[in-house]
Structure 1
Amino acid sequence: MGKLLLIDGNSLMHRAYYAIPTLTTSKGVPTNAVYGFTNMLFRLLKEEKPDFIAVAFDKKAPTFRHLEFEEYKATRAKAPEELLGQFSILKEILSAMNIKFLEIEGFEADDVLGTLSKKAEEEGLFTLIVTGDKDALQLLSEKTHVMLTKKGITEMEVYDPEKFVNKYEFSPQFLPDMKGLMGDASDNIPGVPGVGEKTAIKLLKEYQNLENLYNALSAQGDERVKGKLKDNLLAYKEQALKSKRLATIIRDIPLNLDFNELKIKVPDREKLINLFRELEFNTLIKRLAESADVSGERKQAEKVLQIEEVYKEEGNEQRDEIAYGIKDIEDLYRLKEDAKSAGVLSLFLTPERVLFSEGRKVFSLGNSFLQEEDIKNLLRELFLMNGIKKIAHDGKGLIQFFARNGIDFSYEFDTMIAAYLLNSSRNRYDLETVAYEYLGVELKDKPDEEKCFTLIPLEGVLEERIKNDGMEGLLYFIELPICHILADMEMTGFKVDREKLKKLSAEFGERLMELTGGIYKLAGTSFNINSTKQLGEVLFEKLQLPTVKKKKTGYSTDAEVLEKLKGAHPIIEKLLEYRFLMKMKSTYADGLLNLVDKVTSRIHTSFNQTITATGRISSTEPNLQNIPVKTDIGRKIRGVFVADGPDHLLLSADYSQIELRILAHMSGDEKLIESFVKGEDIHARTASEVFGIPIEKVTPEMRNRAKAVNFGIIYGISDFGLAQNLNIPTKEAKEYIENYFKRYPKVKEFIENTVKKARVSGYVTTLFNRRRYLPEITSRNFNLRSFAERAAVNSPIQGTAADIIKLAMVKIYRELKRRGYKTKLLLQIHDELIFDVPLEELDAVKNLVKYHMEKVVELKVPLIVDVKEGYTWEELK
């Protein structure tokens, strides 16, 4: 006997939605219901092994039940939008799995299930109905069983007729009669007032069905039902019979269907894997990957699994067929020819060796071989060959590794950079994470050969996604060239005057001792200034300062608290200076000393390309972008960074108000554009517009407030936020913002449209098509949603600024190389570039840098670059 599996799509999707915590993709698409349903579907297919399958859904249109009883299901709350949007996703998955789903106008999913199960019985099939709706129990028979969800979607209970009778003491087909008597609150079926489940069961045990009951009530001499119950039954007879009709599942709806359409078919695995990738269902990808023959893409990944099997056993003879250790020049020739034939070569760097793969085998080259000149020459030839696509994951390390060995290395695809572009909101882009997400391949604790091998199929998947998202230009013309530039900048480093740095550390130490003595004197006691507990006791108990914030562990003495206490006591100013100076000394004065290369006297920071969500480059170990510029201490720290020698100078090239210029371009606001085209002081102009006065009457305070409004708008600031920044009433801040938008109406329009588009698509883009996904923009949490709305406004602007300066870096770097200049790019700090320039190149480099930065892209407003020079970094400001 064949087996038919019938699934109540609506019922189980609702169950899954409420059973599984909120789950969204990184793009903000809710997926918890469809994830739960699909997981359950996989489990059912594995455990039940059906021959036929179908999923039934309710149609949106009213059913015959609504026409008969207008109040049918009227009390049900509307399904959440987050759930409704998931039904179309589920139907895509079912289509990819080649599973038939049905929805018939005028009928409910129950009626589809009832009709199909009846037809199945006639065909001699056994049917299992899976649902969360007990109404389906009326369909029970020897050939039709029902699997009911008990808790969530994981705990299930299977009913057959015997189990039903044992529980309810009447036959399953009379379940609608019970609903006719007791009603059903969930469907707003009224039933008979005063009749509950116990009474209904008792009556059905006695009379079997409603018709028999009412015949008996009409007959003379039947005293089994009397009193108020009898009165209610008679008074509400029509309502009871109507309620029964509403609860009865129709089993003969018109279905033009051949059962062969329901036969289990092989899924379209490629389509399914792509869907799961998009939905970020990594565990389902893996589960699918483990099951049998798959698409060409997956077959590539299967080669990775093949290597895994080879490496499971020590001494496995197959190793020689897949993994080659390069022992001499002949082995390297073989790699070169194989790569030429394949047209592709992946590279993977480990501390001891470099691994190469052309898609069939893995070649291993020990670092010691790179001391041999003939090996180096052959590698140079290999890297210069046309027609070989070189692939790496975080290729910056490979560039530096080969450079240290005197070999120029360039490559055509970086799987880490591609994964970052596809979703810049991730926390991790290591190969294990990316391979698992896009291939369903588990690389954790796997041999390095397997990791190298994985790069080729991974590149195929990522390249297709990059193409689909329209980010090829961003990857190939900006991000990949930037990898090479950052590698060079890291190797070059920034020269430091060690003696000056030591003196600065000592100076900071002396000042800290002075501050410590002053704090003790003002406190009237000595204590551990760095102890929150002791400091809290001194401030709020001994000195009796007003308590600002208290925690379970005691008084809070964080920066916010101390700022609020300014002016309350002279000790506060000294504490703030002490904390700032202590941080500067430990992080920079002492911290930098430990990082200065003892041979070259340079600091080699690490530049990160995949950290920020907006595309900005960040700096770590140490973070040279974060050294304060507006404080005397920060300037002193910058003063220890110097040019390469007495015949060199540092050159700074800084974009002037680039983000405001991008806002003018993107919004198309005529007044804002006009101000920049005329070269006006934009903050003075904004003050003039907001305060309604001539520009020549704008005071410095007005200009500062206008500046706060200008930059606040870019960051989506609220009236409360602006009030906090300017220390003014919220009402006044609100007026500033309203006046700004009145004067620059297209800016407001741009902001509103950007947020609106982000809600629909789940992401925003820069002028260069860089995406930032904002899943929180549809969040029910106000704070999360507000953050996402601010990011939606700021990210296209800040991201475009990041793209522009990166593109400028590429053009400048190439031009410096072309001219054979010795000028070196040392540092990028958001909108600023710092170079080390030999004096004989200074004038030419100033012109070159300014030209390429200002002309790198054509906007509706001019880009202006301020250029400064000096021997120390401090002198550049």
Structure 2
Amino acid sequence: MADYMKKIWLIDGTAVLYRSYFAFIKRPLINSKGENTSAIHGTINSILKLIDKFKPEYAAVSFDLKGPTFRHKMSFDYKANRPPMPEDLVSQIEPVKKFYELAGIPEFSVPEYEADDVLATLAEKFKSEYEIVIYSGDKDFNQLTDERITLFNPSEEKFVSSQEVIDKYGVRPDQFIDYLSITGDSADNIPGVKGIGSKGASSLLQQFGSLDNIYENIDKIKPGLQKKLESSKENAFLSRKLAEIIKNVPLENIDINRLKFDESGLMNVTELTARYELTRLDKRLRDKYKAFENEVTDLFADFSDETTETTENETLKFNALLITEEEDFRKLISEAEEREVIAVDTETTSVDPVSAEIVGISIAFDAENAYYISLGHKLEKNLCPEKVVSELNRVLDGKIFVGHNIKYDLIVLEKYGFNCRPHFFDTMIASYLTEPQHIRHSLDYCAENIFNYKMQSIEELIGKGKSQITFDEVSQEKALFYAAEDAYVAYRIYEPLKKLLTDADLDNLFYDIEIPLIETLKSMETTGVYLDREYLRKVSLQAEKRINELIAEIYEITGEKFNINSTKQLGKVLFESMNLPVIKKTKTGYSTDMSVLEKLSEDYPIARKLREYRMLSKLMSTYILALPKLINPRTGKIHSSFNQTIASTGRLSSSNPNLQNIPVRSEIGKKIREAFTACDDEHVLLAADYSQIELRLFAVMSGNEDLCSSFRKKSDIHSQTAGLIFDKPIEEVTADDRRRAKVINFGIMYGMGSVSLSKELNISRKEAKSFIDNYFSAFPAILEFIDNLKQKARNKGFAETMFGRKLYLFEMFGGSKRSQADAERIAVNMPIQGSAADLIKTAMNQIHDKIKDNPDINMLIQVHDELVFEVKKDCLDEAKNLIRSVMEDVLPDRYKGIIPLVVDIGEGHNWLEAH
């Protein structure tokens, strides 16, 4: 495009509307009138960003109108798979259109035509004299790109030119309609040619140029593709008609002057932002045009994932008060006694709660003040920690104790006598449940997400790196605001998070499973597990010897010495010096990751050596050498931290050390497990492991009677599956048949398709597809169950476990074909994997309640479907019976009795023997 030409921005109003609505699907924006304003807020915010960044001189918008289009006359099934527009989105269409009107952006929408067609018509009319930018993430617009027309994808915030279409799809923009006529489009229910995907379509078009030429030369095409093309010929040409965006929509009054945009028109938008209580946007607009100052920011004004700006800390104002005198503390306690909701936070000397010493406690219980009680600042006056905690026991008992990562605070406080029974509300867990796909759930994130409030950084007080000090070395004066702010923010985010939990129907999951789990995990972490340091030292010598042997063998095979840990040097040796086949490349050169080495291992000994070298080196650094350093000098044990707010499916994870990544199948991995031992000869470790829990839940939730019957009869589920899908009596099923059936059983549950299955079983895609088809023929109820899970996720916007845990799947509503396919796989797998996670958490809580007063039985470790206990030998039978009875009886009532849950229990002096 010529730089001198003026740009016309053509906005796909429907796409922006949907994108804005679903950006807030996990926590919709609701004003005081109970109106959903997500799409209104998101649309205005998006267009303001466009205006601020690109200063458009000309602009127009188009919407799809209600009712059928000319494409529906061609195909009754066109877009028939799409769920109806949500009612609370329908109600936002007119306000959104009003925004464009007030802003001075003209709307062009025509009955029986889609917005795509209208925008294409406008683009065609003006492109000879203007640059055209189409503001949309809809891939259908790729067919319009040329030297005068580009796209702008707001989700990715990037321009898409005709060259980028070629680079991404392997076809020219003028071939893109034919590309869609072959691949189809599931989002619009365009059928395409069944069995030919994106690679096949681009390859055919590169060879023959067009759909017409493909069919004219069909005898030159491989028989397999030829058959698919012939059987879908009618659909292919229908798909081309459906996919083509037309450029001759009858439009009136489209003089260029009507499209001229004047930014001052945005002053009028405050009429809309005020009406719908979009306070932050209202303030932004009024400030921009100097209309007014000091508008109060709305509580829910900044939930948008699109907003990246930060403002002055005007949204939260409070007084931070330091408590160092007994009299002031008594007054604080007297006032706190009258309150029902109290936020508490601790400041300590370490991020490890087991070894941390308390420095101070902050408290907040109203919107005006927060208090910091100094307990351990060096060279300054402090109150006695034990006395302060004793008073807190009395005040907090029976009250609502609000905190962020309460487990940490409880571990610290209990060392100073904390033992009361409040009702806990953990804001970190609440944030995680309402936003499980988000990586961060820190207090800083919650403050910014809910209040657009920027918190003070800890690094401002203690520094970084080698110069970092501990909190007890920070002066009270400097510590005051930071510490008080923690409790104050936790108190202020309590109400909005509490409402979000209720609105999302997550109260039962939060109060019945996750909150009780705090006490369970706290007990496990403080108990800790013994590690045989001397045994691990011997393992390290063996591993080191083997690593040195591998280095020598690698040098001998390659014929040269080089840095094995340098991927760049290794790539040159493997693929240039040794001429091994290149599997894949990265931006910086040859890829030598484990997947590449695994493929090369079948034919090249060097790859097998490198895989073993990497595995051993990783275990040495991560476990063998690192574990002894994690032993607490006071307790002599390792105290792993179990994390509730990491995995989006609800699974627990662990850190310091990560116990879940120890490879149990390798010999060295087994030796690492062997280092975890009982505390003495009077105790043993007991491991209780659910048998095939996810497959059992899959059977229960799908309602497939064949699978359920197999579990009730205690049949070999994989052999039975093999017999059904390979059509042979069960007594004729071979070990290889069973192995394949096992992969298929789990693969179907995890959403595996023919491509992945063919790689897993090392068979052709055709054979893999046949296996999957046979599986669904044998188990039709499972196919229906999987389809229902996908459809529910599309309709609701989330996948859900049997306990009500939700995972929001925004990719179901847009993005690339691959991201939508990934979302569909998650929609199938998450309800199963998440239910298993919720199930074992429920079991852990019930077991904890039964053993918490019994010092002879202690729960130590949780790894996926396994629980590890330390048990005194003379109560081993009691422990086994108790653990088994609880773990096998935790299904929700509506699922009980359908199949049995089975728990395998082992025992031994160390973890390996017990497993």
In the superposition, the TM-score normalised over structure 1's length comes to 0.69
Displacement of 1:659 in angstroms is 0.6
Q: Distance in 2 between matches of 1:361 and 1:440?
A: 19
Is the CA contact (8 Å cut-off) linking 1:628 and 1:634 kept in structure 2? yes
Partner of 1:422: 434
Displacement of 1:546 in angstroms is 3.5
CA distance 1:759–1:823, shift in 2 (3 Å): same
Partner of 1:332: 329
Partner of 1:762: 797
Partner of 1:49: none
Partner of 1:4: none
The unaligned stretches of length 5 or more in structure 2 are: 1-8, 29-36, 52-59, 111-118, 123-129, 136-249, 257-268, 302-311, 349-358, 377-381, 458-480
Partner of 1:401: 412
SS at match of 2:437: coil
Displacement of 1:626 in angstroms is 0.7
Q: Does 1:515 align with 2:550?
A: yes
CA distance 1:350–1:94, shift in 2 (3 Å): farther
Is the CA contact (8 Å cut-off) linking 2:585 and 2:591 kept in structure 1? yes
Q: Distance in 1 between matches of 2:608 and 2:48?
A: 65
Is the CA contact (8 Å cut-off) linking 2:840 and 2:865 kept in structure 1? yes
CA distance 1:400–1:548, shift in 2 (3 Å): same
**Structure 2 counterparts to residues 626-705 of structure 1, below 5 A:** 626-705=661-740
| Aligned partner letter, 1:531 | S
Displacement of 1:604 in angstroms is 1.9
Partner of 1:443: 455
**Structure 2 counterparts to residues 466-485 of structure 1, below 5 A:** 466-485=501-520
Partner of 1:364: 372
Q: Distance in 1 between matches of 2:680 and 2:740?
A: 43
Partner of 1:833: 867
SS at match of 2:337: helix
Partner of 2:23: 25
Partner of 2:881: 847
Displacement of 1:290 in angstroms is 8.2
1:753 pairs, out of 779, 785, 788, with 788
Partner of 2:813: 778
| Aligned partner letter, 1:378 | E
Partner of 1:724: 759
Q: Distance in 2 between matches of 1:12 and 1:289?
A: 32
Q: Distance in 1 between matches of 2:418 and 2:602?
A: 62
Q: Distance in 1 between matches of 2:519 and 2:335?
A: 26
Q: Distance in 1 between matches of 2:709 and 2:313?
A: 61
Displacement of 1:811 in angstroms is 0.4
Displacement of 1:296 in angstroms is 9.2
Is the CA contact (8 Å cut-off) linking 1:495 and 1:641 kept in structure 2? yes
Q: Distance in 2 between matches of 1:578 and 1:592?
A: 20
Is the CA contact (8 Å cut-off) linking 1:94 and 1:101 kept in structure 2? no
CA distance 1:293–1:42, shift in 2 (3 Å): farther
Deviates more, 1:774-783 or 1:619-628: 774-783
CA distance 1:101–1:529, shift in 2 (3 Å): closer
Displacement of 1:741 in angstroms is 0.9
Q: Distance in 1 between matches of 2:326 and 2:731?
A: 76
Is the CA contact (8 Å cut-off) linking 1:34 and 1:90 kept in structure 2? no
**Structure 2 counterparts to residues 803-818 of structure 1, below 5 A:** 803-817=838-852
Partner of 1:874: 912
Is the CA contact (8 Å cut-off) linking 1:658 and 1:801 kept in structure 2? yes
SS at match of 2:500: helix
| Aligned partner letter, 1:711 | F
C-alpha RMSD of matched pairs (Å): 4.7
Is the CA contact (8 Å cut-off) linking 2:364 and 2:487 kept in structure 1? yes
CA distance 1:839–1:87, shift in 2 (3 Å): closer
Q: Does 1:610 align with 2:645?
A: yes
**Structure 2 counterparts to residues 126-137 of structure 1, below 5 A:** none
Q: Does 1:374 align with 2:426?
A: no
| Aligned partner letter, 2:596 | V
2:858 pairs, out of 824, 830, 842, with 824
Partner of 2:360: 353
Is the CA contact (8 Å cut-off) linking 2:530 and 2:638 kept in structure 1? yes
Displacement of 1:780 in angstroms is 4.3
Is the CA contact (8 Å cut-off) linking 1:17 and 1:32 kept in structure 2? no
Is the CA contact (8 Å cut-off) linking 2:10 and 2:134 kept in structure 1? no
Is the CA contact (8 Å cut-off) linking 1:649 and 1:839 kept in structure 2? yes
SS at match of 1:800: helix
Q: Distance in 1 between matches of 2:300 and 2:16?
A: 35
Displacement of 1:401 in angstroms is 1.3
| Aligned partner letter, 1:343 | E
| Aligned partner letter, 1:842 | L
SS at match of 2:676: coil
Displacement of 1:801 in angstroms is 0.4
Displacement of 1:717 in angstroms is 0.3
Q: Which digits, 9 at most, give the CA deviation of each residue in 1:655-705, with x for residues without a partner? A: 111111111111111111111111111111111211122222222111111
Partner of 1:392: 403
SS at match of 2:647: coil
Q: Which digits, 9 at most, give the CA deviation of each residue in 1:816-855, with x for residues without a partner? A: 12x5343221111111111111222221111111111111
**Identity percentage of aligned residues:** 36
Q: Distance in 2 between matches of 1:685 and 1:247?
A: 68
CA distance 1:822–1:285, shift in 2 (3 Å): farther
Deviates more, 1:25-34 or 1:518-527: 25-34
Is the CA contact (8 Å cut-off) linking 1:16 and 1:37 kept in structure 2? no
Is the CA contact (8 Å cut-off) linking 1:500 and 1:640 kept in structure 2? yes
CA distance 1:324–1:732, shift in 2 (3 Å): same
Is the CA contact (8 Å cut-off) linking 1:26 and 1:775 kept in structure 2? no
CA distance 1:264–1:490, shift in 2 (3 Å): same
Displacement of 1:337 in angstroms is 2.8
SS at match of 1:616: coil
Displacement of 1:867 in angstroms is 0.7
In the superposition, the TM-score normalised over structure 2's length comes to 0.67
**Structure 2 counterparts to residues 39-78 of structure 1, below 5 A:** 60=65
Q: Distance in 2 between matches of 1:306 and 1:782?
A: 42
Displacement of 1:522 in angstroms is 2.9
CA distance 1:535–1:305, shift in 2 (3 Å): closer
**Structure 2 counterparts to residues 122-521 of structure 1, below 5 A:** 267=274, 272=278, 292=295, 322-351=319-348, 352-359=359-366, 360-368=368-376, 371=384, 373-384=386-397, 386=398, 388-408=399-419, 410-445=422-457, 447-521=482-556
| Aligned partner letter, 2:680 | G
Q: Distance in 1 between matches of 2:730 and 2:616?
A: 40
Partner of 1:37: 44
Q: Distance in 1 between matches of 2:662 and 2:448?
A: 38
Q: Distance in 1 between matches of 2:886 and 2:419?
A: 26
CA distance 1:632–1:57, shift in 2 (3 Å): closer
Is the CA contact (8 Å cut-off) linking 2:722 and 2:733 kept in structure 1? yes
SS at match of 1:613: coil
| Aligned partner letter, 2:875 | E
Q: Which digits, 9 at most, give the CA deviation of each residue in 1:781-824, with x for residues without a partner? A: 1211111111000000000000010011000001112x534322
1:621 pairs, out of 651, 656, 680, with 656
Displacement of 1:709 in angstroms is 0.7
CA distance 1:640–1:285, shift in 2 (3 Å): farther
The count of corresponding residues between Structure 1 and Structure 2 is 689
The unaligned stretches of length 5 or more in structure 1 are: 1-10, 45-54, 103-107, 113-131, 136-147, 154-242, 250-261, 299-303, 311-321
SS at match of 1:342: coil
| Aligned partner letter, 2:341 | V
Which structure has the bigger radius of gyration?
A: 1
Q: Distance in 2 between matches of 1:393 and 1:60?
A: 47
2:596 pairs, out of 541, 561, 566, with 561
